[in-house]
Chains A and B, each alone.
Chain A
Amino acid sequence: MSLNRLIELTCAVVSAVWIYMGVFQYGFWTENTPGGGFVPVLFGGLTLIFCLALLLKGKAKSVTVNKNVFFPVAVVVAAMIFTALVGMIVTLLVMVFAWLKFYEKYSYLRAGVISVAAIAFVFGIFGVWLQVPFPTGLLGI
């Protein structure tokens, strides 16, 4: 099955789940007013029709997915894990440095200067000015 067919099918399944839960869990209509399931059933139904129309009428499209797209996904997942351990600022600093040094093959000096400048800017705006409390992790950094 091509990926676009899978997207359309997933959307159709999500719509069906919304309809089912709207009718059986939240209630479509209660006395004189719509229940919590009214809008989910209404728009879930319409979305399901559109998805089925795409599945029936649309053409399967073959696109080669470049493996590079998964690199930033892996980086963010790793950043989420390491934030819990060493805190967000250290994690992001190491993340940018490692990305530039090992993935983009920058020199140590260039990667270091860019990563420190970028994180200092982000910390200045969010941490100092907007007072966002960054997670410090187990090490309390």
Chain B
Amino acid sequence: MENFALLLQGFSVALTLPNLLAALAGALLGLIIGAMPGIGSLAGCALLLPLTFKMDPTTAIIMLAAIYYANMYGGSFSAILLNIPGDSPAIMTTLDGYPLTTQGKAGKALFTANTASFIGGSIGIVLLTILGPLVANIGLAFGPAEMVSLLLLALTSIGWLLGENPLKGLVTAGLGILLSMIGMDPTCGQARFSFGIIDLLGGINFIPLVIGLFGFSQVMDMLANKQNFSFLGGTRLTLKESLLDRTELIRIVPTSIRGGILGNFVGVLPGAGATIASFLSYMFNRRVCKNGGNFGKGMIEGVAASEAANNAAAAGAFAPLLSLGIPGSGTAAVLLGGLMMWGLKPGPQLFSESPDFVWGLIASMYVGNIMCIIIAMAVIPFLVHILRVPSSVMAPIITVLCIVGSYSVNNNMFDVGVMLTAGVIAYFLNLYDFSLAPLLLAFVLTPRLEQSFHQAFQISNGNAMIFLTKPISLALLIAMALFVIAPVLFKLRKNNKTPQANE
């Protein structure tokens, strides 16, 4: 009840004209940045941080927060329309979003993504309001050992559950892990696997890699199947035609609620973030949904699962950020830098020392979430115009975006080379049914895994029993073992039944 009164007080701060305009500007900029392949929420917030230097701290962080979660909305646009995730949390959205586009249902996919993002974001914000400090304490229970077990569970399930051939999924996940080790060892600063190439000392950058894997390989595919097509052909696609009917809404609401709750919890975990949240939600919903077997072939539930979770995680990341000063993601780390720049000290005292700021920010997230869905829905008819452009024009334009997007990360042509190499490898991997999502997810998760491994062993003095003596870690490892053993047992059982049936 006390939280509710404080929230009302927060609305009086959030609903002032400068703060409303800041939330509106943030939502608009965030959507644009999120939709553009190669920038992403982390780079977007970092690039726009200087814009807020002259603002009041509350107004500034309201704008940055709006950019952050509007990014999650925007990231789905290029994932659905171009098969290029705008940012890593949208990787899972491509799996069903792009097949929906190729089936001529881009409007429905975008509408599903926006609706699920709104539901997930709302769940995240409500939970942040009610459980803020409490939820942050749960996140604190995740030490290095628990984080290792969680990440191992995630890595194991990536390979098994993605793609039609689990073994190929495991190989691409393995490749992603190996590629992520190029560059400085995160624990001791030793250069690894750079083979004397100076540009590799900093490792392979995520953005050129993702642009190559999903964007440039797409251009190669367009030219391989050289037909001058546009996904929409001559059909009109309006907001009205994009609306979901009652049956479709019934299909996505439970998925979005599940994804929202799961995503919020994962978003609270330090370092886990929206990427892991969208991945776990996708996998979980694939298991529990009635038509889960069709995930990956253009199911609106798949889009909803990923989008609800990444928006809920974006809101969840604010709980440890505000109440403990622990960023839940890379973007939250930029926000933390902003808070400190304005002289605010995130931690339990922030709630008592700067209630106007904290509750004003939380209240602004309710307002910003509504602004995001209105703007996102309104731009659907404009966005789908992209699909009317024939592939003969799209191919050179996407190539230009691939080159400039990769170059702009470090202003270095080496990254264009990385994009090109990744694109060629991805094209041939795709040709032989190797799923690319495991590679990218493993690439993102491994540095955190390696760091947690080292921390866990340092704490236990090199004793591996630390992973078995911590209850949460043990539970996660048992879950991992079940993930590995269960499919084998199911297959054996199926093989045993088939001969009997034949007899």
Asked if residues B400 and A96 are in contact (CB atoms below 8 Å), the reply is yes
Asked if residues B434 and A46 are in contact (CB atoms below 8 Å), the reply is no
Asked if residues B431 and A63 are in contact (CB atoms below 8 Å), the reply is yes
The docked-state distance in angstroms from the alpha carbon of A8 to that of B420 is 21
Q: Taking A130-B408, A132-B407 as contacts, is the C-beta distance between A34 and B454 under 8 angstroms?
A: yes
- The one of A26, A31, A77, A99 in contact with B190, judged by C-beta atoms closer than 8 angstroms, is A26
Main secondary structure of the interface of B (DSSP, over half): helix
- The one of A63, A77, A95, A100 in contact with B393, judged by C-beta atoms closer than 8 angstroms, is A100
- The one of B192, B401, B403 in contact with A40, judged by C-beta atoms closer than 8 angstroms, is B192
Asked if residues A73 and B420 are in contact (CB atoms below 8 Å), the reply is yes
Q: How large is the interface on A (under 10, 10 to 19, 20 to 34, 35 or more residues)?
A: 35 or more
B187 partner residues in chain A, CB cutoff 8 A: 36
- The one of A14, A57, A61, A133 in contact with B178, judged by C-beta atoms closer than 8 angstroms, is A14
A107 interfacial contact with B, CB 8 Å: no
How many B residues touch A, CB cutoff 8 Å?
A: 62
B365 interfacial contact with A, CB 8 Å: no
The smallest beta-carbon distance between B424 and chain A, in angstroms, is: 6
- Most chain A CB within a 10 A radius of its CB, from B221, B224, B228, B453: B224
The docked-state distance in angstroms from the alpha carbon of A11 to that of B397 is 32
Asked if residues A133 and B411 are in contact (CB atoms below 8 Å), the reply is yes
B220 partner residues in chain A, CB cutoff 8 A: 69, 72-73
Asked if residues B453 and A34 are in contact (CB atoms below 8 Å), the reply is yes
Asked if residues A114 and B393 are in contact (CB atoms below 8 Å), the reply is yes
Asked if residues A51 and B395 are in contact (CB atoms below 8 Å), the reply is no
CB under 8 Å from chain A, chain B span 253-284? none
Asked if residues B399 and A76 are in contact (CB atoms below 8 Å), the reply is yes
The docked-state distance in angstroms from the alpha carbon of A81 to that of B408 is 17
Q: Which residue numbers of B lie inside 8 Å of A, CB to CB?
A: 36, 39, 47, 167-168, 170-171, 174-175, 177-178, 181, 185, 187-188, 190, 192-193, 216, 219-221, 223-226, 228, 392-393, 395-397, 399-404, 407-408, 411, 413, 416-417, 420, 423-424, 427-429, 431-432, 434, 446, 449-450, 453-454, 457-458, 461-462
Q: Which residue numbers of A lie inside 8 Å of B, CB to CB?
A: 3-4, 7-8, 11, 14-15, 18, 21, 26, 29, 31-34, 36, 38-40, 43-44, 46-47, 50-51, 53-54, 57-58, 61, 63, 65-66, 68-69, 71-73, 75-77, 79-80, 83-84, 88, 92, 95-96, 99-100, 104, 106, 114-115, 118-119, 122, 125-126, 130, 132-135
